[in-house]
Amino acid sequence: MVQTYQYTRQEFESFARAVKRASDMVRAKKPDFIFAPIIGAVPLIDLLSIADRHFRIETTEYPPNSSRFSDREGIMNRWYSNFLHSNYVPGQRMSILCIDEVISGSSAVKGYNEFRRALAQFGESRGERLERRITYEILGFGEKPKGDKRNHGFSSLVNSKKARVLETDNIITSDNPLFNPIKLKVERSTGNGRFIYKPEIEGFEYSEDYLNLLREFAEYFGRDPESISPGNLIRIQKSLNKYLRQNA
């Protein structure tokens, strides 16, 4: 195995241990749905699928929670609302676990708040209070934030046990296009060269660095590297498109 230049062995093992802990927690919680924000969390699902060959990837949905989208609030509200219309069964409970990378935690807080807002609107339209019937928790992969402090709102979620962070030396896949196979359509670029995206998938691209990462994880977890391949591509495309349609 050729070691990629993107991370050290110590960072790899720290990250792999966090993935293992996350895998164990997901298996214990047995959420009805897993949310994996489409910018950032897609690689985490691939890695969890390697750590646990019984990982229920078919329960994973991919919300457009990112500051990289313009009209972020409107897009997220539409996606969450359509998700609830499509999946809520009257009288039944629903548990959602959002798996995401967490540094400051601000994006995770945004996703949580927007979901709660959409849930309140959905419940009001049905004449129901669903805040206790439908639960949303966050399981974050965290690395040391600037100033050693995370977003106050995220810390509040941790203190109220609505969020948990698995600390690691380096979230290897974070903010690295080589480690995210999803290529979104670009809407525009900002003055500092930052891209703002449309919530539309242009294609999938697997770098050699990413494939090496998957193979290295397979070896770490005692899997045959030749049997590992990125998955869920159709579901990723379908999840984003289905819940962004105009009419639920």
Domains of the chain: 9-242 (3.40.50)
Task: Please tell me the distance from the alpha carbon of residue 1 to that of residue 206, in angstroms, as a whole number.
Answer: 17
- Answer whether residue 2 shows pLDDT above 50: no
- Reading the block at residue 128, the tokens are 């129901």
Nearest Cα neighbor of 166 from 246, 51, 74, 245 is 51
For residue 3, the model assigns a pLDDT of 45
**What average pLDDT does the segment 23-43 reach?**
94
CA 239/CA 66 separation, integer angstroms: 16
Distance of CA 205 to the CA centre of its chain: 18
Contacts of 208 by beta carbon, 8 Å cutoff, 6+ apart: none
pLDDT digits (tens, 9 = 90+) for 187-244: 888 777 788 888 889 988 888 999 999 999 999 999 999 888 776 788 888 888 889 8
Task: Give the tokens for residue 112.
Answer: 């949580």
pTM over 0.75: yes
Mean pLDDT, rounded, for 84-104: 94
**What is the residue type of 46?**
D
Calculate mean pLDDT across residues 127-136. 94
Q: How far apart are CA 53 and CA 223, in angstroms?
A: 9
Q: How far is CA 77 from the centre of its chain?
A: 17
105 with 153: CB under 8 angstroms? yes
- Give the N- to C-terminal CA distance of the chain in Å, as an integer: 47
Give a three-class secondary structure readout of 180-210: CCEEEEEEEECCCCCEEEEEEEEEECCCHHH
Quote the pLDDT of residue 248: 42
Of 33-42, 72-81, 172-181, minimum mean pLDDT range = 172-181
Cβ 108 vs Cβ 163: under 8 Å: yes
Confidence (pLDDT) at 231:
67
User: Do 96 and 33 touch, CB atoms closer than 8 A?
Assistant: yes
